[in-house]
Structure 1
Amino acid sequence: MEFVTILLIAVSLAMDAFAVSISNGVSVKGFGKKQAATQGLYFGGFQFLMPVIGWVLGSSVKTYIESIDHWIAFVLLAIIGGNMIRESFGDDEEESGQSVLTAKVLLLQAVATSIDALAVGISFAILDVNIWWAAGIIGVVSFVLSFCGGMLGKGLGNFLQAKAEFAGGAVLILIGIKILVEHVFLGG
């Protein structure tokens, strides 16, 4: 898988964390660079770890599903992307009501925002992607966007939250379509 595709997947996966980071920046009293870096480490760490776990799970079943692997990758990415788009229209008030950013809150947010990366890791195993390289890119991108999202949230409010999640979902669906087209029509 080419670098640009991995980077687009990384940005798409980080949109949930970015949206939550904006919300944290808006709602957490005294939010600053330290809190932005801390949430970036949580989100980036889990966005790195979850694709690796998914890749291990996907590798164990790969030989049984090689003939339909491109369809599985497409369906997983379409479901993840569609869910992100659906959630972008929802009301996320419960996430923005935090007044203190504790380790427990960050852990729950990091796990919740990285579940999609688990499914992407399964797709990576099916597609023979170098998981360490891909997970590294995903983790770094998630850290950067989470840090920036927190700092942006401090000044911009909830305006960007739904739009970022919608964009991330749309990009994942487009990447799923690209994988399907490459395998079905272009013999990739």
Structure 2
Amino acid sequence: MLAEIVTVMIMAFAVSMDAFSISIGMGAYKIRLRQIFYIGLVVGIFHLLMPLLGIFAGHLLSGTFGGIAIYIGGILLIILGLQMVLTIFRSDAGSTFMPVGWGVLLFSFLVSIDSFSAGLSLGIFGAKAALAVICFSAMSVGMTWCGLLIGRKMQNMLGVYGELLGGIILIAYGIKLLVPFPW
């Protein structure tokens, strides 16, 4: 049982790394602590629901739907990153995407796509699946909070360059989803 918990925690850590890295980029927006708390919880809920949906979808859909979802996520991340970079050069400082409201839902969906794929690979029901989704959710909440706090601190230190770095991180992760690297 302990070996199973350790294995699931390692898998949860791996699945949450994208939430962490993208959160660093999103933290470049001037996000309040209350928003960071809320965003982390929403990401955690998505990391609970997506693997469950993946388990229910089963192995039949994994080849087709899982691949399509990754490409859509990659394209959306590139668009969000480009939009973030372009707002730096606009005279009106407003942004069309902010990590509030629907933006939080979109962000949470994007960082939980790999949890859907992990759920497809689990393909089982019962205690093991319940343990996995709880671990995925808890780990993603913590990793998201850490990433957003680090990004927020970087934004305060770097100013506009922090937002530029955040946009570049989003673009790079989107490209990573679209173009598989051999390493």
TM class by shorter chain equals: 0.5 to 0.7
1:129–1:22 CA distance, 2 compared to 1 (3 A): same
Q: Which residue of structure 2 aligns with residue 7 of structure 1?
A: 9
Q: 1:47: Cα distance to partner? A: 0.7
Normalized against structure 1, the TM-score is what? 0.61
Residue in structure 1 matching 2:18, options 16, 21, 26: 16
Query: Contact (CA 8 Å) 2:12, 2:135: kept in 1 or not?
Result: yes
Query: Contact (CA 8 Å) 1:14, 1:141: kept in 2 or not?
Result: yes
Q: Which residue of structure 1 aligns with residue 99 of structure 2?
A: 101
Query: Contact (CA 8 Å) 2:36, 2:145: kept in 1 or not?
Result: yes
SS of residue paired to 1:4: helix
Q: 1:126: Cα distance to partner? A: 5.6
1:124–1:142 CA distance, 2 compared to 1 (3 A): same
Equivalent residue runs for 1:117-128 within 5 Å: 117-125=115-123
Which portions of structure 1, spanning 4 or more consecutive aligned residues, are displaced by more than 4 angstroms?
A: 95-99, 126-129, 159-162
Q: Which runs of 5+ in 1 are unaligned?
A: 62-71, 170-188
Q: Deviations over 1:82-110 (max 9, x none)?
A: 99xx99xx894445765743210010111
1:94–1:6 CA distance, 2 compared to 1 (3 A): farther
1:6–1:103 CA distance, 2 compared to 1 (3 A): same
Q: Which residue of structure 2 aligns with residue 32 of structure 1?
A: 32
Q: 2: distance between equivalents of 1:155 and 1:49?
A: 30
Normalized against structure 2, the TM-score is what? 0.63
Q: Which residue of structure 2 aligns with residue 150 of structure 1?
A: 148
Corresponding letter in the other structure for 1:152? I
Q: 1:127: Cα distance to partner? A: 9.8
Q: 1:142: Cα distance to partner? A: 0.3
Identical columns (%): 26
Greater fraction helix: 1
SS of residue paired to 1:130: helix
Q: 1: distance between equivalents of 2:18 and 2:103?
A: 15
Corresponding letter in the other structure for 1:144? G
Corresponding letter in the other structure for 1:25? G
Q: Which runs of 5+ in 2 are unaligned?
A: 88-94, 155-161, 178-183
Q: Deviations over 1:106-146 (max 9, x none)?
A: 10111111111111101111698711110000000000111
Query: Contact (CA 8 Å) 1:22, 1:151: kept in 2 or not?
Result: yes
